[in-house]
Amino acid sequence: MPSQRHHQQARQHTVTVTGSNGCTATDVVTVNVNTTPPTIDAGMDKDLDCTTTSTTIGTTAIGGNTYSWSPSTGLNASNIAEPTASPTSTTTYTVTVTGSNGCTATDVVTVNVNTTPPTVDAGMDKDLDCTTTSTTIGTTAIGGNTYSWSPSTGLNASNIAEPTASPTSTTTYTVTVTGSNGCTATDVVTVNVNTTPPTVDAGMDKDLDCTTTSTTIGTSAIGGNAYSWSPSTGLNATNIAEPTASPTSTTTYTVTVTGSNGCTATDVVTVNVNTTPPTVDAGLDKDLDCTTTSTTIGTSAIGGNAYRWSPSTGLNATNIAEPTASPTSTTTYTVTVTGSNGCTATDVVTVNVNTTLQQWMPVWTKTWIVPRLQLR
């Protein structure tokens, strides 16, 4: 605050001199006394923060005065009328002004420093997966603060206190909060993203035929995974890792595995079904009699097929494609052919036997002998 006191006064002093002769003489001298302190004003108190980091204190210099500030901490100079003050904490400065008469005066000014950072909390780390694909990060906004998030990838907004985060991979977000005093504070939060698909293996393709009519598909279950097979046709269950498949025709099955993180993966396996019956031909019907007493039945063998004839009566073999048949009476033979896939087919052939004897009847012939006649 300004201070000015006037201490000026004039005093006259009379000197009387007495000589050795006893004579005297007098004179008068005036002594002017000037103890008026100089004008002083340290200026108004000032406020600093993270935006305004320095300020000028003091007032305009008055000629003839000298200035001394203390403490000197944070001042660009301590011997000028208006130094720049940049203290890091609230400081009260005292200025001492010395006038040309050597008198001094003091005043004080306080520079308030507010560099308290704002409260910041990015919140707890979060986990995302294929089921939970977004989450809120940060905490409730505080009035007067501004917010800036980086990176902005996956955020619905980067300038709010609690944005929604939907990153596609694990991301660490940094929030910078700026308080009303311009000071900043940062915090980080990590959003862990687990979208790794589960391991899936539908197994090797399988083959079914008339011998093997069912098979297991898939592979061993993995804990935490769920299984779904389609189509369900021919399966004993659709929600297990290794169902039994018994389709009646070739079928490609798709397994969808859902992991504990909600992510899915698919694989396929084909169950080939070969139930095609083998080619069978017992041949044309045959005739036997007393002249022809045996015949070959059936047709040429096909590789991989097995043959079985019944009844065995009159056959030289029952397990070949073309046996020789010598029945003593008309017989219908059935051939059963089994293919390499275990499937069978049958056909029949009849061997007709005609060995009936015909009754013999003698034939009598009469011959007449007539004498030769002479005609006239």
**Of all residues in the chain, what percent carry a pLDDT higher than 90?**
85
Domain hosting residue 92, numbered range: 1-114
Cis upstream peptide for 71 (omega within 30°) = yes
Confidence of residue 15 (pLDDT cuts 50, 70, 90): confident
- Does some domain include residue 368? no
Task: Give residue-wise pLDDT tens across range 64-105.
Answer: 999 999 999 999 999 999 999 999 999 999 999 999 999 999
Last residue of a domain, one of 114, 137, 169: 114
Same domain, yes or no: 32 and 141: no
Q: With 50 as the cut, is the pLDDT of residue 2 above it?
A: no
pLDDT tens figures, 263-303: 999 999 999 999 999 999 999 999 999 999 999 999 999 99
Q: Are residues 6 and 78 part of one domain? A: yes
Mean pLDDT of 294-322: 98
Which strand ranges, in their side-by-side order, compose the sheet holding 331-338?
Answer: 286-289, 344-354, 331-338, 306-310
pLDDT tens profile 158-188: 999 999 999 999 999 999 999 999 999 999 9
220 within domain boundaries? yes
Q: Within a domain: residue 168?
A: yes
Closest CA to 176 of 155, 145, 143: 145
Residue whose entry in the numeric block shows the structure tokens 């009844």: 311
C-beta of residue 83 within 8 angstroms of C-beta of residue 75 = yes
Q: Are strands 91-98 and 126-129 parallel, antiparallel or unpaired?
A: unpaired
User: How many CB atoms are closer than 10 A to CB 257?
Assistant: 23
Question: What confidence category does residue 371 fall into, taking pLDDT thresholds of 50, 70 and 90?
Answer: low
DSSP assignment of 171-223 equals: EEEEEEEE-TTS-EEEEEEEEEEE-PPPP----S-EEEESS---EE-S----T
Q: Are residues 138 and 102 in the same domain?
A: no
Q: Is residue 360 part of a domain?
A: no
Identify whether the C-beta of residue 212 lies closer than 8 Å to the C-beta of residue 340.
Answer: no
Please indicate, yes or no, whether residues 261 and 331 belong to a single structural domain of this protein: no
Q: Alpha-carbon distance 20 to 27, whole Å?
A: 18
65 and 162 in a single domain? The answer is no
The answer as to whether 36 is a domain residue is yes
- Mean of the pLDDT values across residues 250-265? 99
CATH code (residue 150): 2.60.40.10
For the whole model, what pTM was predicted?
0.73
Q: Are 177 and 186 in contact (CB under 8 A)?
A: yes
Residue 154 and residue 233 in one domain? no
If asked whether residues 102 and 182 sit together in one domain, one would say no
> Do 93 and 152 share a domain, yes or no?
no
Q: Are residues 267 and 303 in the same domain?
A: no
Same domain, 2 and 105: yes
Q: What is the DSSP string of 131-170?
A: S---EE-S----TT-EEEEE--TTBS-SSSSS-EE--SS-
State residue 3's pLDDT score: 41
Residue 1 sits in the same domain as residue 58: yes
Question: Do 267 and 294 belong to one domain?
Answer: no
Q: How many domains does the chain have?
A: 4
